[in-house]
Structure formats: C-alpha cells, structure tokens
Amino acid sequence: MSSTPSPVWSNPAIKWVDRRMPIFSLMHKELIVYPTPRNLNYWWNFGSLAGIALVILIFSGIFLAMHYVPHEDMAFASVERLMREVNSGWLIRFIHMNTVSLFFLCVYIHIFRGMYYGSYKAPRELLWIIGVIIYFVMVGTAFLGYVLPWGQMSFWAATVITSLVTPIPLVGEELAIWLWGGFGVNNATLQRFFSLHYLLPMVIFALVFLHLWALHTTKSNNPLGVDVKKKADTLPFHPYYTMKDAFGLGVALVVLSYFIFFNPNYFNHSINYVMADPMVTPEHIVPEWYFLPFYAILRAIPDKLGGVVLMFLSILIWMALPWLDRSRVRSGKFRPVFKWFFWVWVADFVLLTWLGAMPAEGTYVTMGQWATAYYFAHFVVILPLLGWFEKTKPVPESISAAVTAGHDKEAAA
C-alpha cells in the first residue's frame, strides 16, 4: 500500500543494495507490514501451506532426479536402488510421494475456501484464473511424475490417459503417436515424461509468483467478504499471520510425518511395485486419489470424446465462476441458500471421488452420471439462479465494525 512508508535501513550493506534494487523494501512491504484483514480464519492457511508443499516437492525431486534413471529397463530398478542403497534414499522418496498428497489436499481446500467465501468475485477474477491454471499444471505434473517409477499402474495410467487424445476427430491417432514417440507408451514416452516432470514444477513456481502478485494487488478477501476500508480492519502480516501460518505448518508437518514414517505407501497402489509389463493389463486401473472425481466424470459419459471434453470442462468451468455467480454478496456467510448448495456440491465432489475408485459397472455408472449432471448443474443453473432469487442477509459495513460488535454475533452466524 502506498500509505506505508518505506523503511529507512540503517545497515550500510542493506542500504547500498536497496538503493540500487529495492529488494529489502519490497520484502518489508509485502511480507512484514503488508496489511492483511484481521479476521482471516484457518481456512486462509492453506495457500501458504500449498506453497511450502511445492517447495518440499521441488527439493526432494531434485535429489530424486540425481538417482533416477529414465529408461524402461532401469527406471524401476533405479527407484529400488534409491530406497535400498542410497543413504536416506527411502526418506527422500517417501517425502516426495506423500507431499504430493498434502499438496493436493491443501490446494483442494484452498479452492473450496475461495468458492465458499466468493474470493473469485471482482476484483479478484484474474487471481482466481491464475489459480485454476496452476491447478491444471499440477495435474499434469503429478500425472507425469506417477509414470516415472515405471510400475504397472504407472504404465497403464500413462496408457489410459494418453489414449484420451485418440477420439479427437481427424488428428487423434496421429496426435497419440506423436505424444508417445512410438505406437504405444514406450521408452521414448518415459524419457519425455521425465524431462517435462522436471520442467513443469518450475512453471508452477513462476505461476505462483503471478498468483501472489495479483493477490498483493487486490489484497486478501476475508470471511465477511467486505472490502478493507480502514487501517483498523487490518493487521500487519508479520507477526500475526507469519505466526498463524507457522502454527498451521506445524500441524501439517505432524500429519505428513505420520505418513512418511509410519505409513509411507498408504496413498500408493501396491501394484505399482510390480514392474511395468505391456503384456499384462491390471484388473482395475485406478488413478491417484486426487484425480478420482475427474476420472469418475470421464467414465460417466458413454462416448469417449464426450467424456474427455466433459472432464476438461469440469475444471475449466471454475474459471467462469466470477461470471456464473451473479450474487453481489461475496461471502457465503451472508447467503443462506447458497451456503447449503455449496455443501451439497462438496458432497457431490466427494461422491465423485468415491465413484472414481469403483469399477465402472452397474449402479456405479448411473450414480456417476447423476453426480456429473449435478456437478455441472451447480455451476450453470443453480449459481446463476441463486444470484437472482436469493435473499441475502445484511452485510456488516466494515471488518472492524463486525469484530467490535462482539464475538457472540460471529458465533451465531
């Protein structure tokens, strides 16, 4: 904010650098005095947590890549060798594997938080859209990474997912061959996947900076959804939110460590410890838990191309949220009807997640179709209509007014 004066540095080295490139002033402005709404709840922790998960993934990934061999005959053995012979190799790998789940969990909560509190509404549309792009690239990165250990599920997931392009009219078959570098998933596929798996996290990292740039331009939304109007509405980022984020990180690390040290293969499929075999198709090909809802949507549609299109649309549609949601009230807190529909939609998403893990047969298929229909109806029918019909509750005139009005009011809400 322009109202915060630049600090006057006393250390001569800092002074020297800062006059030529104001990096210290920038950090002071964006990380220390940065005015943050005083009423953020713990749902606002998950953005910074996701960022830390990304950093952990990049660090552990760089060390994995020192031992990993991207070759169809050696990849599986190189991962075994890493876990058995390299000092703390098992630790590096289990950190990487389990942090992926933490990363996705944080990002899902982060996205749902935005949906509940209307964080995508003006002026934060671009911030939101960059977020959805980050999610897309994450999905790609995790898919590519899962192929690298070259187990049975790696190979067959790669086969199923890359085959999704084949129903595209005219160019589908050609496109698949081009993607594979051959007539099926093969060594060339593995090598390009490794190269891209190393690249995309850096792209995510850059996108996160754009995301933060947009954030620091529009500033954080808050549980009340009202704009910051005066100084009393905010607190400096440090120490208030640095400490709150640090505590949240502590809790996340406890959970993460439990899985790393005591249940490291919990999120893994045991069959991925069988080396890839193009001649043996596993009975059920199931993606990682974080892809399951979209996998359910893919399989709900009997037409292959239709399924692929709908699966992409199911994420793309998030980008249109700022324009689909016509309500002028941001926070779900003051939208008594929306609130319920939001939770129903979350339940629908959880249902899709569960269906994604079930075999595509019998009632599961019909359930998948209804759940998919509801998923889209929420965005294209319910949200636009709610903006029209919903009687919203009165919104407090400022954050500080609501905070000083007493906590009883908050508890009742």
Cis-peptide into 264, omega within 30 deg: no
Binding status of residue 134 toward ligand HEM by CB under 6 A? no
Size of the site for another protein (CB under 8 A): 62
- CB-nearer residue toward ligand HEM: 141 or 400: 141
216 is in an annotated binding site: yes
CA distances from 212 to 51, 185, 215, 239, 276 (A): 11, 37, 5, 19, 40
The contacts of residue 320 (CB under 8 Å, 6+ apart) are 379
The reply to whether 110 sits in an annotated binding site is yes
- Measured N-to-C along each axis, helices 304-319 and 125-147 cross at an angle, to the nearest 10 degrees, of 140
**233 in catalytic set:** no
Active-site choice (288, 325, 348, 390): 288
Q: Is position 68 an interface residue for another protein (rule: CB under 8 A)?
A: no
The reply to whether 30 belongs to the active site is no
Choosing among another protein, ligand HEM, none, which partner's interface includes residue 243 (Cβ < 5 to 8 Å by kind)? another protein
Nearer to ligand HEM among residue 269 and residue 333 (C-beta): 269
Q: How many CA atoms lie within 13 A of 227 on its CB side?
A: 7
* Three-state SS at 231: helix
Q: How many residues bind ligand HEM (CB under 6 A)?
A: 26
For residue 377, give Cα distances in angstroms to 19, 296, 303, 339, 370: 55, 16, 20, 16, 10
In the stretch 32-71, what mask flags binding to ligand HEM with x, by CB under 6 A?
A: ----------------------x--xx--xx-xx--x---
CA pair distance 398, 227, nearest whole angstrom: 7
Compute how many other C-beta atoms are within 10 angstroms of the C-beta atom of residue 295: 25
Active-site annotation holds for 80 = no
H-assigned helices in 28-123:
46-67, 75-84, 89-116
Alpha carbons 194 and 325: distance in angstroms, whole number? 40
Tell me how far apart the alpha carbons of residues 365 and 361 are, in angstroms, rounded to a whole number: 6
Q: From the list another protein, ligand HEM, none, pick the one residue 68 interacts with, judged by a Cβ distance below 5 to 8 Å according to partner type.
A: ligand HEM
Is 310 among the residues that bind ligand HEM (CB under 6 A)?
no
- The verdict on whether 71 is a catalytic residue reads no
On the question of a cis peptide bond just before residue 239, with omega within 30 degrees of 0, the verdict is: yes
Which lies closer to another protein via its Cβ, residue 26 or residue 350?
350
Has 96 been labeled as part of a binding site?
yes
Which amino acid would we find at residue 103?
A: F
User: Residue 44 and residue 164: Cα distance in Å, rounded?
Assistant: 36
260 binds ligand HEM (CB under 6 A): no
Site string for ligand HEM, 346-375 (x = CB under 6 A): ------------------------------
Binding mask 381-410 for another protein (x = CB under 8 A): ----------------------x---x---
| Interaction pattern, residues 208-247, with ligand HEM; x per rule: CB under 6 A | ----------------------------------------
Is 28 a binding residue for ligand HEM by CB under 6 A? The answer is no
Q: Of residues 18, 72, 245, 348, which has the active-site annotation?
A: 245
Say whether 229 is catalytic: no
96 contributes a contact to another protein by CB under 8 A: no
Q: How far apart are the first and last CA of the chain?
A: 32
What the block records as the tokens of 379 is 């965005």
Cβ proximity to ligand HEM: between 204 and 226 the closer is 204
What is the rounded distance in angstroms from the CA atom of residue 237 to the CA atom of residue 234?
Answer: 9
Residue type, 46: F
Q: Is the dihedral of CA 110, 113, 117, 121 positive or negative?
A: positive
CB 67 within 8 A of CB 86: yes
100 counts as binding another protein under rule CB under 8 A = no
What residue ranges bind another protein (CB under 8 A)? Answer: 38, 43, 77, 80-81, 83-84, 90-91, 94, 101, 105, 108-109, 112, 235, 239-240, 243-244, 246-247, 250-251, 253-254, 257-258, 260-262, 264-271, 273-274, 282-284, 286, 289, 292, 333, 339, 343, 346-347, 350, 353-354, 357-359, 403, 407, 411, 413
> Which residues bind to ligand HEM, rule: CB under 6 A?
54, 57-58, 61-62, 64-65, 68, 79, 93, 96-97, 100, 103, 138, 141-142, 145-146, 148-149, 197-198, 201, 204, 268
Active centre residues (catalytic)? 216, 220, 244-245, 288
